[in-house]
Structure 1
Amino acid sequence: MLRIEIQVKELLKIVKVELEDDAVRTESGAMYYMVGNIEMESKAPSVSGLLKSVVSKEAVVRPVYRGTGQLFLEPTYGDFTIIDLKQGEEWILDKGAYVASEMGVNVTAHMNKPISGIFSGEGFFQTKVSGRGKVVIASPGPLETIELNNSKLVVDGSFAVARSGQLDFKIEKATRGLLGTVLSGEGLVNTFTGTGRVLIAPAQRREMFLANKLTAISKSRPGSD
């Protein structure tokens, strides 16, 4: 039985996958190290798959690790979150958020509406996961879950890491009228409408936070000028 665990070592988060004659799919380059009788399979893409990957900028090959043992994925100062997909459920993930998934999960490209793709900061293509099984996603910091029940979420910026596939995503003006937009200081906002969940990362990227802290400490030391 496959088990996925998120471990914390000092400030780093690491994904540990326990395989018992099982298989797991990961993002290209996600493997850190593995122990046991595990083999990596990388199936060559078809011509159409290769062209689709070039257009969407999705990974050409997502390797599959099969066997028995322990697989560890690249650590991060950010966060990992596990989404448990139920049958028939779909999620749209931010670019670069996908890390790994069970074999019952389909990983494909999702195309946003042209206007949303241009102005949202999310791009034309994102990653769609569907099917059934666990999905590991990465984020800059801790995620907050926003539950929508036939309602609307407005986000100023591209802080949404993942959203339920049935939600309607588009770009809108923050206020009605040009004058209101100018006076409010807000321009375009991302909106999510319908029933489902949105995972947002309100925290500053931890790598930047730690770098700023270390820089401040270094400058405060005597003789650092």
Structure 2
Amino acid sequence: MQHIVKYEPTFSMLQVSLAPGETIIAEAGSMVARSSSLTMEVKLNAGKNAGFFGKMKAFFIAIIRKIVGGETFFVNHFSSPQGGWVWLAPSLSGGIKPIQLAGNSMIFSAGAFLASSGDIDLKMRWGGLRALLAKEGAFFVEASGNGQIFVTSYGAIDEIQCNGSYIVDNGHIVGFDSSLDFKIRSGGGGLLGFMASGEGIVCEFQGQGKILIQSRNTSSLVDWLTPMLPP
């Protein structure tokens, strides 16, 4: 599948050319434009092997996610027997990064998924209390299989390699290899550091694998905008 990311890194847009029979799955609401030859089908992404109860569970989780923010987990399938093109863009300004999966899996934070192609299985994964405290949301998105996934962020995306341990501010995580584990901890500096440094909670990753980070923090944007909003 041919693709190009334009207007990086601030106002990135993904342009995809589909060959006859190819399909790309995109987050609901991300389409900018498409050729008239393409058809669009809306589906609930519950994972490839999900049965009836799995789909019902995914449906209720999708409703919760829609309320609290992040992906709706309703996705659009674009395809055509004749082929065509589609342009996709995220809600916030920032980067778009293509990631190739070859039998491995990665975990992404809420809002990071933009699109995927190939034999990719997407499913929701409960993040637990540590994810809530790390402001990553109650659910992660786990991607596995063989194909390509496109992720987005607020700000540019950088890839770093963890060999042992690596500390990342909780508001800058885009995704990480599923082989990595992480725990939340104080940013350091004692009580004053926790209260006044602005680095109250950080995530310490352990193991070997890659971590995707974003150069800007969405929570900081919200904090900056809030005083300017009318009461």
Q: TM-score, with normalisation over the residues of structure 2?
A: 0.77
The RMSD of aligned alpha carbons is 2.6
Larger radius of gyration: 1
Per the TM alignment, residue 118 of structure 1 is displaced from its structure 2 partner at its CA by: 2.7
Structure-to-structure mapping, 1:68-217, within 5 angstroms: 68-74=83-89, 77-87=93-103, 89-114=104-129, 116-149=130-163, 151-175=164-188, 181-185=190-194, 187-203=200-216
Amino acid at match of 2:35: V
Percent pairwise identity: 25
1:24 counterpart SS class: strand
Q: How far, CA to CA, are the matches of 1:7 and 1:29 in structure 2?
A: 19
Per the TM alignment, residue 123 of structure 1 is displaced from its structure 2 partner at its CA by: 1.5
Superposition misfits of 4+ residues, deviation over 4 angstroms: 55-58
Q: How far, CA to CA, are the matches of 1:158 and 1:92 in structure 2?
A: 15
Gaps of 5+ in 2: 46-54, 226-231
Per the TM alignment, residue 59 of structure 1 is displaced from its structure 2 partner at its CA by: 2.2
1:37 counterpart SS class: coil
Alignment partner for residue 78 of structure 2, among 58, 62, 65?
Answer: 65
Q: How far, CA to CA, are the matches of 1:117 and 1:78 in structure 2?
A: 23
Instruction: Provide closer, same or farther for how the CA distance between residues 121 and 14 of structure 1 changes in structure 2, counting only shifts above 3 A.
Output: same
Amino acid at match of 1:49: A
Amino acid at match of 1:160: I
Q: TM-score, with normalisation over the residues of structure 1?
A: 0.79
Per the TM alignment, residue 27 of structure 1 is displaced from its structure 2 partner at its CA by: 0.4
Amino acid at match of 1:111: W
Instruction: Provide closer, same or farther for how the CA distance between residues 155 and 11 of structure 1 changes in structure 2, counting only shifts above 3 A.
Output: closer
1:103 counterpart SS class: strand
Residue correspondences, number: 200
Gaps of 5+ in 1: 213-225
Asked if the contact 1:158/1:190 (under 8 Å) is kept, the reply is no
Asked if the contact 2:109/2:137 (under 8 Å) is kept, the reply is no
Amino acid at match of 1:128: E
Encode CA deviations 1:119-173: one digit per residue, 9 max, x unaligned: 1011221111111111111111222211012x11112332111111111022123
Correspondence for 1:35: 35
